[in-house]
Each structure stands twice: as structure tokens, then as C-alpha cells.
Amino acid sequence: MSILVIAEYNAEMDLTSLRKSVKAAQLIGSNIDILLAGNDTSAFATAASHISGIHQVVVVEDSILSQPLAENHTLVIAKFSADYEHFIFAATSWGKNVAPRVAGTLNVAQFSDVIDIESADVFVRPIYAGNVIAKVKACCAKKVLTIRGTAFSEAELGDSAAEIKKVSLSDTNYSFDAGLSHFISEELSKSERPSITAASIIISGGRGMQNGANFSILERVADKLGAAIGASRAAVDAGFVSNDMQIGQTGKVVAPNLYIAVGISGAIQHLAGMKDSKIIVAINKDEEAPIFQIADYGLVGDLFDIMPELEAAL
Ligand code: FAD
């Protein structure tokens, strides 16, 4: 059973989602390789080689691969299709972009957002915004999976390093430029706060915040707690905050130790992104708001009274 875990290169050397994908792969088998495609990736490859339980890091370098374009990266992964049975991606924006194209190329189904692995071909995944958990059995010889990071812990890092194997495909005149997409630019949002997906405390605001300026009320509390700031889709759609802060079915999926929902009603699409949080606190003036059904602690009241009190108490 050969398993290929696809790495998503990042200059920050953040191995979190890769280590979680390896952890998931270990539930399938022990013959695990990591594939790293990019340009100038040696530091990342070295870091990845210390993930315990992997056999080797396979590296493909080409200047065209420095951009995270799914069309081009799929051409690399397809080159290894005969050697592996499982192709595992983290369910990040990039993984969710590349994996379907790989599955299409291999002419197999994709198993999305896997939260548990029962065997080499039986996977567990949420459907209907997390209201139903489906157990699905793969029929195809090749399996393409995306892994929900909040459902798996990180594979250990060890002192010993796995082999790093550079594979050169240039001598075959093989081009990784699919010619289907072009990279124009990217804008990275910079923040002093922890990122939403890594934070152990998140404070999220909803439509009840009334406007973007009022998010400063959350920021003051977040500063005291070292928390990240999230938002509901209603808050994003209303233009209060940017959409990279959205949590939920069509936003980010998080599971921090503490999640504080402020002025958020608790629609199922929002719960889909945060209900696995360890402790959930809800602040809402409507005692019938659905968020109270999953909250460990609920405060019924006006957020514009409660949040300053909370800030003062902290
Ligand atoms: P509302 O539902 O309007 O709730 C506002 C809450 O604030 C109310 O409960 C109100 O009592 C409370 N409030 C108002 N004023 C105060 C005050 N002064 N003090 C205290 N409480 C106050 N939503 C997401 O969040 N994430 C998603 O990823 C997402 N994906 C979606 C995908 C699809 C396909 C669809 C159809 C919907 C999706 N939604 C998503 C939208 C979702 O259905 C809800 O519309 C949204 O979550 C509501 O956001 P909200 O709770 O901020 O707003």
C-alpha cells in the first residue's frame, strides 16, 4: 500500500497541515512518501524529512512550480500516478483546488474533508454542512483524499531524517506548464494576531456587531487573550471585515480550545466551521438563538454592554 502525501510549499516552513495529513496517512499504511513540488524548496524538504513515519521526501523542482497553480501541479502529481494507491492532500484552499483535478486526471472519485479513516478504502466525512457523518467505501484502485486538519493531530517530528530524493523530469522535455492558467499576483494579509487556523482562542463577530468599526471591541478583548478574530458570513458579506476571516461551511474550519461567538445566531453553515471547538462561549441578546444549543457557556445580553465588561474584567 503506497501512499503519497502531497506537500503544500510555504516560505514560513509551516508543516502543520502536512503533519496532519501524514498522521491521517498512517491510519492507511506505513509506506508513506511526501511529494514536494516547487522551486528552491530545499529548506522545506529538509524540514519535512523530519516528520516521523515517512519513507522519503520526493522533490520535483521547476521554476514554473513556484506558483501554486493547480493545473501545473497536477501534471507533476500525475507523473507519479502509477507508483501510489493513495494521494492525500490537506483540505486547505490549495489542496481543495488541486485534488479534484488530480482525481479527474486519474478518472476516480475524490473523498473530501475526511475526518476519520477506518481502513485503506473506508473513509468518514461530514455531509450536509456537518449534520450527517457519512462512511464511504472507495471502489477504485486509486484514492484521492482531502484531510480535514481539525480532525487529526500532527505526526511527530523526529531527530532522524528521511531520504530526500530529487526527481528530475527535465531530461524528458516534459513541461509542467499546462498553459491553462497564469499567475498574476497574490496579496497576503499580514497580522500581528495568530492566524485563525492556528489560534487556540478565537473571538468571532457576526451581524450583531452592526459595522466594521465595532470589531475594535472584539480586538481589545482579543489583545488581552492573544486570540485571533473570526467572523460569520453575514459580517463578511456586509463588508464589516475581510472574507479571509470567515468561519463556516464556505469559510475556514477551526477547532480552537476556546471559541467566543459574539452577535452570531448559530446558523448550521457557521456551526459547520466551529462546532468542534473545545469550549464554546456565545454572547447574544436573543436567548432563543441556536448558537446557545451548542454553547458550553452562554451570556444573554447586549454585546455592547457585555464586551466592555469582559475587557475590564480581563
Ligand atoms: P444573523 O443570523 O443575522 O445573527 C445575528 C445575531 O446577532 C442574532 O442572533 C442577534 O440576536 C444577535 N445580535 C444582534 N444585535 C446584538 C447585540 N447588540 N448584542 C448581542 N447579540 C446581538 N455563514 C457563516 O457564518 N459561515 C459560512 O461559511 C457560511 N456558509 C454558507 C453557505 C451557504 C451555502 C449558505 C446558504 C449560507 C452560508 N452561511 C454561512 C450563512 C448562514 O446561513 C447565516 O446566514 C450566517 O451565518 C448568519 O450570520 P450571523 O449569525 O452573523 O447573522
Per-residue pLDDT tens digits for 40-86? 999 999 999 999 999 999 999 999 999 999 999 999 999 999 999 99
H or E, element range at 147: strand 143-147
Phi and psi, residue 180, nearest 5°: -105, -20
- When the pLDDT of each residue in the chain is averaged and rounded to a whole number, the result is 95
- Exposed/middle/buried for residue 195 (C-beta within 10 Å: 0-12, 13-18, 19+): middle
Choice from 218, 269, 304, 307 to test ligand 1 binding pocket (greatest atom count within 8 A of CB): 269
Q: Is the pLDDT of residue 310 over 80?
A: yes
CA atoms within 13 A on the CB side of 16: 12
- Stretch 241-246: mean pLDDT: 94
Entry pTM = 0.85
**Residue for grid cell 459580517:** 235
Phi and psi, residue 308, nearest 5°: -60, -35
The residue among 223, 196, 206 whose CA lies nearest residue 284 is: 206
pLDDT digits (tens, 9 = 90+) for 102-146: 999 999 999 999 999 999 999 999 998 888 999 999 999 999 999
Q: Is the pLDDT of residue 172 over 70?
A: no
How far apart are the CA of 236 and the centre of ligand 1, in A? Answer: 10
DSSP string, 110-124: EEEEE-EEEETTEEE
Q: Is the pLDDT of residue 161 over 90?
A: yes
Domain 2-172 has CATH 3.40.50.620: yes
Q: Whose CA is nearest to atom 8 of ligand 1?
A: 265
Q: What is the pLDDT of residue 171?
A: 59
Percent of the chain with pLDDT over 90: 90
CATH 3.40.50.620 positions along the chain are: 2-172
The residue among 313, 311, 218, 213 whose CA lies nearest residue 263 is: 218
Angle (deg, nearest 10), helices 70-78 and 93-106: 50
User: What is the topology classification, in CATH, of domain 201-313?
Assistant: Rossmann fold (3.40.50)
Q: What is the pLDDT of residue 237?
A: 97
Q: What is the pLDDT of residue 168?
A: 82
Pocket of ligand 1 (CB under 6 A): 206-208, 232-235, 246-251, 263-265, 267, 269-270, 273, 284-286, 289, 302-304
Q: Is the pLDDT of residue 170 over 70?
A: no
Q: Is the pLDDT of residue 187 over 90?
A: no
Q: How far apart are the first and last CA of the chain?
A: 53
CATH 3.40.50.1220 positions along the chain are: 201-313
